[in-house]
């Protein structure tokens, strides 16, 4: 009897385990039941996208979100650069919401990474924009970019994990970046003025571009400079050949920290389930916890680690929980 073919395609468990960590746990569970396992850790355009697309092979000193120098890892291979703005301009780099300066936090470092990638010969630049500390509308990044003439022929693609409008960026995400009510009003006015400037200077109305509010408007700022904004999960899935790999598997195992209504809105778990449903591949999602009110597509089975092991252990040892729970689930497949 042929071994069951498992594809491990999880997202990160935010704050507890990376996507590669969870993929390794899935592979370990598969090995325990003599199943083969191919690993394809995923991301949706937010944090973890760099790792999903091969991991960093370069690093650069750039301007951090609060103006201090930081070392930001990135990737360049065969003319394609992968930049994760969170590594240069992220909230974690700023020290979290309590230490952030939500009004003055800058995306300059992200622009500097793009400029360095172009100088190093990149012809295609993929920018993942989740996890930002900033609401500068991308102004800092644009000021650091090469001239439009230097960018001629360079394809810039922004991987978005949200569809937020440019003018809504402060109201939607400002609080989690430490902004007060008064600061949110200030930032919103500043975004409105920037939208006018971008239309005057570049002929692009960023207020009409879906997803332009991602990363505090960085996505909109890059769109003004000619970038295409795309669904982050779809970009990563295409880059790693996920549909073909799911089609070749007997079971695809995905996962995330919390399954809720947003999981089906451009996120990894929903995207994997949709592809699996098209190809008739069984899909399992191991999740730290789940919202009982959230809809579950027919093509997806949920393995809730908190239900199985309790919320404390699920939080403290997600990889161990994944390995144990998934082993039982895969034995049922056989």
Are residues 28 and 150 both part of a single domain?
no
Residues 148, 198: one domain? yes
109 and 180 co-located in one domain: yes
State mean pLDDT over 151-155: 96
Say what the pLDDT of residue 333 is: 61
Closest Cα partner for 321 from 303, 310, 305? 305
Can you give the pLDDT at residue 255?
Answer: 97
**228 and 280 both lie in a single domain:** no
Which one of 207, 233, 259 terminates a domain? 233
Q: Do 181 and 140 reside in the same domain of the chain?
A: yes
> What is the mean predicted confidence (pLDDT) over 41-54?
93
Helix residue spans in the chain (DSSP H): 19-32, 49-52, 85-89, 91-94, 108-119, 139-144, 169-173, 181-202, 214-224, 232-240, 242-247, 268-279, 305-309, 311-316, 318-333
**Could you tell me the CATH number of the domain that includes residue 159?**
3.90.1510.10
Q: Quick one: which of 15, 144, 20 has its CA closest to 92?
A: 15
**pLDDT per position as a tens digit, 240-257:** 999 999 999 999 999 999
Q: What is the pLDDT of residues 292-302, one digit of tens each?
A: 999 999 889 99
- 246 and 288 belong to one structural domain: yes
Packing angle of the helix pair 232-240, 268-279 (nearest 10 deg) = 50
Backbone angles phi, psi at 209, to 5 degrees: -100, 115
User: Who's near 12: CB < 8 A, 6+ residues apart?
Assistant: 18, 19, 22, 43, 47, 48, 256, 257
Integer CA distances (angstroms), 129 to 41, 194, 333, in order? 18, 19, 38
Report the number of distinct structural domains present in the chain: 2
Model pLDDT for residues 75-134, shown as the tens digit of each residue: 999 999 999 999 999 999 999 999 999 999 999 999 999 999 999 999 999 999 989 999
Same domain, 277 and 159: no
Question: For residue 328, what is the domain's CATH number?
Answer: 3.40.50.10350
Sequence-separated (6 or more) residues with CB below 8 Å from residue 119: 146
334, pLDDT greater than 70: no
Which tokens sit at 297?
């597509």
Same domain, 25 and 71: no
Same domain (yes/no): 246, 211: no
List the domain range (segments joined by +) for residue 87.
Answer: 49-233
Claim to verify: residue 121 and residue 256 sit in the same structural domain: no
Return mean pLDDT, the chain.
95
DSSP-assigned states of every residue in 132-170:
B---STTHHHHHHSPPTTTTTT-EEEEEES----GGGHH
Q: Which residue has the higher pLDDT, 82 or 331?
A: 82
The domain boundary residue, chosen from 233, 251, 269: 233
Token look-up 């093509």 returns 299
Domain boundary among 214, 233, 252: 233
- Do 114 and 224 have their domain in common? yes
- 63 compared with 334, residue with greater pLDDT: 63
238 contact partners, CB below 8 Å, separation of at least 6: none
176 and 297 share one domain: no
CA atoms of 134 and 173, how far apart (whole Å): 9
Q: What global pTM score does this model have?
A: 0.91
Name the pLDDT band for 15 (thresholds 50, 70, 90). Answer: confident
């Amino acid at each position: 009897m042929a071994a069951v073919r498992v594809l491990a395609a999880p997202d990160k468990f935010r704050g507890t385990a990376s996507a590669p960590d969870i993929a390794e746990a899935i592979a370990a569970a598969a090995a325990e039941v003599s199943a083969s396992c191919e690993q394809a850790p995923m991301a949706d355009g937010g944090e973890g996208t760099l790792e999903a697309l091969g991991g960093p092979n370069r690093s650069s000193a750039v301007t951090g979100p609060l103006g201090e120098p930081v070392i930001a890892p990135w990737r360049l291979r065969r003319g394609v650069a992968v930049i994760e703005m969170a590594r240069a301009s992220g909230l974690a780099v700023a020290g979290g919401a309590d230490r952030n300066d939500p009004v003055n936090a800058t995306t300059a470092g992200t622009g500097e990474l793009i400029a360095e990638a172009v100088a190093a010969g990149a012809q295609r630049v993929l920018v993942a924009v989740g996890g930002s500390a900033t609401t500068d509308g991308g102004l800092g990044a644009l000021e650091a970019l090469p001239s439009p003439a230097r960018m001629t022929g360079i394809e810039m693609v922004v991987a978005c994990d949200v569809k937020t409008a440019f003018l809504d960026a402060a109201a939607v995400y400002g609080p989690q970046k430490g902004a007060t009510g008064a600061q949110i009003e200030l930032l919103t006015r500043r975004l409105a003025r920037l939208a006018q400037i971008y239309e005057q200077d570049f002929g692009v109305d960023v207020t009409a571009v879906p997803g332009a509010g991602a990363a505090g408007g960085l996505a909109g700022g890059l769109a003004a400079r000619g970038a295409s904004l795309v669904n982050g999960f779809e970009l990563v899935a295409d880059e790693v050949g996920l549909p073909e790999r799911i089609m070749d598997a007997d079971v695809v195992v995905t996962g995330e920290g919390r399954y809720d209504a947003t999981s089906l809105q451009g996120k990894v778990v929903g995207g994997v389930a949709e592809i699996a449903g098209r190809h008739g591949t069984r899909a399992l999602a191991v999740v730290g916890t789940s919202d009982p009110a959230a809809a579950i597509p027919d093509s997806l089975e949920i393995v809730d680690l908190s239900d199985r092991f309790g919320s404390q252990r699920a939080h403290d040892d997600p990889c161990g929980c994944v390995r144990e729970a998934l082993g039982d689930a895969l034995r049922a497949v056989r």
